[in-house]
Structure 1
Amino acid sequence: MEFEEIKVRSYDGSLDRARLELLERRCEVGPSHVFLFSDTMGDPICRIRNSPLYIMLVAELNHELVGAIQGSIKVVTLKDLAKVGYILGLRVSPFHRRKGIGSSLVHHLEEWFVGNQVDYAYMATEKDNNASVNLFVNKLQYVKFRTPAILIHPVKSRPLKISSKVEIFKINEENAEYLYRRFMGLTEFFPADIDKVLGNKLSLGTWVACERGEHAQFGQNGNFPSNWAMLSVWNSGGLFKLRIGKAPVSCLMYSEVSKVIDKAFACFNMPTLLCSLFEPFGFYFLYGVHQEGEVSRKMVRALCRYVHNMARVDVDCKMVVTELGRYDERVRPHIPHWRMLSCLEDLWCIKALKSEHIESVNELTRIPQTKPLFVDPREV
């Protein structure tokens, strides 16, 4: 029997949607500790649709869809402004692995990046995902770049207490853009089109926290309090849902018991996720977390609790998520999260697509991280 070669082409919704959903289900087979999977609700490109420029590629073998990959392009801050391509959503059917399909998809996506004058390609994966690390680092010459933490906090049935000494207020998009460009413009991966992010319909707004009584003078004549913090909120549940893919029997039992306890004892501060464990759910993503001042960490804590309480009234939202670089470790303890659900060492890998940038990558990976990391909510 003669086999066809791997064919890589652009995604066609009218031809590929159903087959891609089947591929996603097949790719859910994984290690026992993996629980969360994304539900794109019939829109496979939802995670890149809000990017300035994007593409999805699919791989066919003998007329069967056996792989897929997504990519997006934007301009960000690294050492200087740079055009970067982000790789996500690499999927290869478990029945067709070790045939070079993943490598072929990445190579075709890199060609698309190069055709669009991209300086660097980068991707994120779990640090312990040996197959992904082996493909990108050992075979495709990507370099380990950053190890941010993904912090996840389930929404509880009762509100979290916020210090009465902290005042929280919402600012408009114009003021938020000003603050971000002024205070985070040199942050790694800060997007040049931050105005588009803040103005997106999925961005719920930007909030600032300061000492009570300092709100009226905040930003007056370019002056700011000694201690303050800010963050923005993105409704990721407006794009796709998360759901539990596999779980041990103990989780099944806990889910059922939680429902009974929640009804019998409404005063228990039970995470609402655990009361409906296997239903698709949305989540809020906190981005642009920034603080100024020696004691501003308590402002970060207050803002996170404020967003948690916002999420409580959104029946679809069961988690609040944020991602921080290693430089921000000093503020991590003040962001509510469950270690059981969180990933304390995600892995970002980067590759120079132009020869003149190879040394820049080496320099970026050699020196300790001295700047915060901006995680674009459009790529979550």
Structure 2
Amino acid sequence: MASSSSAETRFSDDDHLALELTVRDPDSPASDKAASAPAIASDEIIPLLIQNQRPRFNIFSSSHTRRKPREQVFKVTETEISPVTQFSSWVWSGSRYSGLLCMALSSTLYLIMELLSNTFSVQPIPLFETAFLRCTIISILSYLWLKRIGQPIFGPAHARKFLVSRALVGSLSLFSFIFSIQMLPLSQAIVLSFVNPVMASIAARVFLHEKLKITDIGGLACSFFGVLFIFGPTLTVQVGSEGKNENLKGNHHIYAVLLGLFSSITGGISYCLIKAAAKASEQPLITVFSFGLVACPAAAICMFTLESFVLPAFETLISMIVLGLLAFCAEVLLARGLQLEKISKATNVLYIEVVLSQLWILGTGKAASPGLFSRLVGCLLILISVSYTIYMGPAKDTE
């Protein structure tokens, strides 16, 4: 060969591997005189640096090994993710039971709202004023969240018909429920509101063509009968004493019951529209924002035209803001649960709110002894129905 090359591998003091490649021509005499001769022929290559001045290129120039940075990054990411964040991610989309879990958490938040409003109610506030403040908080938080994640606030064009329908029907259901709860006793209004899951399952069969199995019908019937067992004794007492209430005389009571049923029917249709809009837009938060966008000005009109405005005190305002934040979280979880899960299964989980409220009443010793047995039977029926729904799971519905 005319030329030969030698590769020298050296280890520096700091344990770095240095690889130096030197090209030599043993047959050329100019290679020995390159350091001393000032100039040679033009066709010869003259080195610019002598041997001891040549820069050494270290291909392993990093001062750490490769395994160490990966271990450090992995440890940092582990410490940065909190258990609350991991649990939220798991509930939102990390499990095949995420739809049912979202519905259960939504029901739990509604129960917490009820307990807080009963415990810390320092000033009576009209219902439409309360609805206006909650819808305002829901609208603001939904708008900020959508802007933060970079989603269009009005959703994609093909989903806007579902969003508008959901906002209108949901607002109609809310306002009819407020009117009915002002005219009916509380237990009757609660029983009528829990007709909502049954109406939602029927509406899903008609509009969304969801298959309604015998087990789904049996679960909803079992849960609703549990509600009747729980509130049955209270209903008989209130119906017997309704003659003393002028608002419930004659046709007024029938109109109030029909209004409550209308609220349940429109609420069931609203659940179907939430599912359709969330699936079309691939973002359940947009359904919450569309509802607040319509319900907020409508509640303001009803607040100033049908009721007298009451200026809340500072403590009352703080409690109303906290309840509005909880209502926002509950609405988002409800929309997510309806997006992921079959409506008949998702709405059946909503009955868990009744069981938790009765357990709270029994735990605090506020339950009346004559209706204790019927309350326990009702809670048992609901627990059996909800447990069977969770046990069957969403995997049985995939075809």
TM-score (norm 1): 0.23
TM-score (norm 2): 0.22
Q: Give the number of the structure whose residues are more often helix, by fraction.
A: 2
Higher relative contact order (CA 8 A, sep 6+): 2
Q: Give the number of the structure whose residues are more often strand, by fraction.
A: 1
Which structure has the bigger radius of gyration?
2
